[in-house]
Every structure is written in structure tokens, then in C-alpha cells.
Structure 1
Amino acid sequence: MKIGKGIRLFAAVLAIGVMQAAGAADPDKKEIRFGATAGPYADQIRYGVKPVLEKRGYKVTIVEFSDYVQPNLALADGAIDANAFQHVAYLKKFSADRKLQLSEVVQVPTAPIGIYSNKHKALTEVKAGATVSLPNDPSNLARAITILQQIGWVTLKPGTDMIRASERDIESNPHKLRLIQLEAAQLPRSLDDVDYGFVNGNFALAAGLKLNSALALEKIPDYYMNLVAVKTADLNKPFVKDIREAYQSAEFKAVAQQRFAGFVPPAYQK
């Protein structure tokens, strides 16, 4: 009887220990797998955020992606713990479409979308029938459509929702532009084949383009500022708090000002 009680007691203690370990795993989390699109947002983590987190005892692994789909799927699946590549409009739509529970943590310095050309030196050189490449994901397409109106190349129907604008909202196209929608990562390559191309800042820089070489740059509204996202269930966990504080640190601000000139700073860096 005593041996049986001892075994049962040991098993109970072991079970409690396992449950306690499981409950304590997240507060003691010391490894962060951080996803980002290759280029400046991965580099922001590499040079500005990772060193701050490492000082706090974390091991940070950067996972680079080449598109705008996989980073959120990897986050939802638990393959990574956080990502930095998207703005809130994209995050909300993607999460709603895929039924994912993802949330914003903090905004990051953001490279504006720009209009580039390998064939023309100015927007005023636009001719009838010119070809223009744009990103094909709905939120970034809306950004490009909005800029087309701002530079006077198209007009949009009254009452158009700028966050959801598409080609269907174009009321007039006086230059008879041919709009070619492509995956955002392919836009830099398209510049050899089109007259003008809209290129997201991260992909422009990754392709060796300079922000100041754009013929026009977007004036980024708040809802197009890029951000860090995590699973909603993780939003109040200690490692997420530490990520937020790393971005808001003086060390990161110094790196951003030195390495990412031309990026639009978030409010906490102004």
C-alpha cells in the first residue's frame, strides 16, 4: 500500500510539474522567431530591434519571406512569433478573408510606395496608351489607384472608398493607360517592360532602387504605415511587450535615422 501511494504521489507531483512548466513557458520565452519581407523590414529587425532584444536575454531568429501571403500564414500557424511587413488595412482584410486572429503591436518606419520608370525621366512624359504596373493585392492596389488620381492620371467616381479603390472605381482615364496588375515582389522586374511602375518601398530597396530615384512618392496616411503583428492570443504576453519597447527605444530610433533615411517615421519617433 505504501509503495502504491508513493507511486501515485510521484505521478501527481510530476503532473503538476508538467502543468506548471507549460504555464510558465511563455513568461520565460527567450527565443523569438521574427518574420519579415526580405529587405528593409528584415534589416530594421536585424540592426535595430534584435540587438535590443538580445540585451534582454532573447535569441532572435529572422525569417525572411518573398511575398505578402506567407508571413501571416506562418504567424497564424505558429511557425513564427511575430512579423513586420504590412499595414493595418492589409492585416485586417487578410485576417478577415482567412479567418485568422492576428493583431497590430506597433507601427514601424515605413518606406512609401513610389512610381519608377526605366524609360522616362518625369511623369509629364506620359503618353496615350502608356503601360503602368501596379500591385495586385487589394490594399496596395488601392494605394496605387489613389496615387494615380493624386497625380491627375485618372479620376475616381464620387464617393470612392480610398482604402478599397480598384479599377472599377475609375471614372475617367484620359491617357488611356493600360494598367497591369502584378504580384508586388515582381514589380521591380516589370520596369523593363512597362512605361511606369508602382513599387512598394521594401521591394524597391531590395531590388537596388533608391527612394529618391522615384518620380513620385506616396504621402503615407496612418492606415498605410507598416506594423508588427502577432497572434491576438499573444498580444499581452511579455515577449510582445518587449518587442514593442524595442521598436520604441532610443537605440532603434538611432538606427532608423542612420540606415533608413527617407522612411516615414511612426509617431513615437517624431
Structure 2
Amino acid sequence: MMDFSVFRKKSLLKLASVLALSTLLLAAAGCGSSSKEASSGKAGETKELKYRVMPTATSDLFDGGIKPILEKKGYKLTPVKITDSIQREMALDEGKIDFHVDAHKAWIDQVNKSKGTHLTAILPLPTVPTAIYGGSKKTLEEVAPGDVIAIPNDASNLARAYQLLEQLGWIKLDPSKDKDHVTGKDIVENPKNLQFKEMKGPSINTIRSDVAYIILRGSDAYNAKIDFNSALFAENPDSIKDSMRIALCIADKNKDTQWVKDIIEAYKSPEFKEYVKKTGSFWILPDYMK
């Protein structure tokens, strides 16, 4: 005859063992969950970010001042070389790169409209001003009727060049037009009958001695190794429109991601502000860096 008291005691011991084992398994599962959470990026995963890199002032500023900050946070930054500006934006829209720092809002808006992309210039960055430099003429006072001025021919920087000439007082633009999209046809006053040679920005410096003056966007002056201090007239913090400031450019779908927030935080950090001071005083700084 079976002793039920012994059976009951053995059953209780087995139950206690099962409960103890279950507790250990749950604890292990909890630890596993934490490890999995870490590897998914919530607790320090190395996240690879691909970005367009070119020899421009803003790209170099990113590499020198922002990249080290992001790497300390565990990010892996992989540069991708794309020379064509349209291809750059298409790569950004298609996710082949995650961001770049070489365009302004006016350009991004134009590409969105013409190409159907969904991009955002999410944060204004330190910007090298567009400026007029001497060609065959060395001072602004030498300007004469019929002088030729070479200017960039892409739509957004063309408009930017004409705005600069209006600020200088050499031309007047149609006040009813959107200044970000003006062309030579929108010049309503040109008392000196100045002539404008519209051409690709990177090529302008090669004909410098053949024209009276040249207008260069910051990246073209930087690549041509022109001293920014030699500019005869340049954009300034009060004259440059927000839409013409170089910006952190991303795809719309990524605007709420943690990595975008981390890049923005890096640009707003005291560490980056100190780094920019060491590179020169020519930058037009965004309000958050003043």
C-alpha cells in the first residue's frame, strides 16, 4: 500500500525544484533580453551611418568636429563619394546614404519639387558665405559699364549670386519674385549694363583672369584654395537667408530617429563650438552657436 504522505512530500519537492528552475530561466531570459536590447542599438550598439563626403568646407568640418563626437557614442561613419549633386540627393532619398552636410534648404526644396524626393534640410550649419572676388579687376570701385561677372549656373546658387549683386547695389531684382528662384530675366535694373557669364560653379575660378569679377559659393572657393579674407563683398549673418544656409540633409522618414538626434546634439555641443573657433572666423554661424 502506497504511503501518500511520502508521495506528497516528493511531489512538493519536485514542484519546488520546478519553480526554482523556472525562476532561473526567467532571470536568464531577462538577461538575454537586456543583451538583445543592447545589440539592437538601445544600449550602445555600433550603428553604421553612411554619408556623402567631398572636399568641401562643411564636409571637412564634419569630419574634424562632429565625427569624433559620434564615434565616441559608438557610431561607425562610412564616407561615400558622390560627385554629382542630383545623384547625391537621389542616393539620400533611396537610402544609399543616410545624410550629408553640403546643401541648403533652397536646393533641397527644388530637388523635392523637380525629382519627387522626400528630403529635409533639418538643421542649419556653419556656412561659408557666397562672395564676389576680383578677377581682372581687383577692387569694387573699378567696376565699369559692360563688365563681365562669372556666376554659378545651378538654379539655387544662381539666385543666390543675383541676390548678392542686389545687396551690393549693382542690380535690382523684381520685388514680386521669390528671391530664391530668380534668374537673369528677373533683373529690372542694371545701370552699368553688367554681363553675367553663368557656368558650373567649380569651373568659375579657372577663368578668373578672363572676367572682371567672379562669384563663388563657399565650397568652390574652398576647393580653389582661395583665401576667404580676399572676398570683396560677401554674405553676412544679416543678409543671408535661412534657406541659403548649409544644412544637415536627411530623408524625411528619418527625422525622428535617434541617430539624427545624436548628430544634432553633436552640432549643438560646446565641444563642436570650440572646434569651429579654431578653424577660422569666416563662418556664418547658426543662432544656436552664437
In structure 1, the gaps of 5 or more residues are 1-20
Out of 48, 64, 86, the position equivalent to 1:69 is: 86
Distance 1:73 1:193, change over 3 A: farther
Q: Higher relative contact order at CA 8 Å, sep ≥6: structure 1 or structure 2?
A: 1
Q: 1:59 to 1:197 in 2, by over 3 A?
A: same
2:133 maps to 1:116: yes
Using the alignment, how far apart are the partners of 2:210 and 2:82 within structure 1? Answer: 25
Compute the TM-score of the two structures, normalised by the length of structure 2: 0.80
Superposition deviation, residue 142 in structure 1: 1.0
Q: Secondary structure at the match of 1:174?
A: coil
Structure 1 residue 103, shift from structure 2 partner: 1.2
Counterpart in the other structure of 2:207 = 190
More helix, by proportion? 2
State the match for 1:83 in structure 2.
Answer: 100
Percent of residue pairs identical: 33
CA change 1:263–1:38 in 2 (3 A) is same
Equivalent residue, structure 1, for 2:242: 222
Tell which structure's C-alpha radius of gyration is larger. Answer: 2
Mapped to 2, the partners of 1:176 and 1:25 lie a distance apart of: 63
Letter in 1 for 2:245: M
Per the TM alignment, residue 26 of structure 1 is displaced from its structure 2 partner at its CA by 7.5
1:172 aligns to what? 189
Is this contact kept in 1: 2:150–2:213, CA < 8 A? yes
More displaced stretch, 118-127 vs 157-166: 157-166
List alignment gaps of at least 5 residues for structure 2.
Answer: 1-35
Residue 281 of structure 2, aligned match among 261, 265, 269: 261
CA contact (8 A) 2:46 2:76 kept: no
- The Cα offsets for residues 215-237 of structure 1, whole Å up to 9 and x where unpaired, read as 11013222211101111111111
Tell me by how many angstroms 1:157 deviates: 2.7
1:59-91 deviation per Cα after TM superposition (whole angstroms, max 9, x unaligned): 112334444323212212222110111111111
Instruction: Summarize the Cα distance change of 1:189–1:199 in structure 2 as closer, same or farther, 3 Å threshold.
Output: same
Count of paired positions: 248
Residue 47 of structure 2 corresponds to 30
Q: Is the 8 A contact 1:105 1:240 kept in 2?
A: no
Q: CA RMSD in A?
A: 1.9
**Amino acid of the residue matched to residue 169 of structure 1?**
D
Note if 1:42 corresponds to 2:59: yes
Distance 2:56 2:178 in 1: 31
Separation (CA, whole Å) in 2 of partners of 1:200 and 1:37: 15
- Quick one: distance in 2 between partners of 1:205 and 1:143? 17
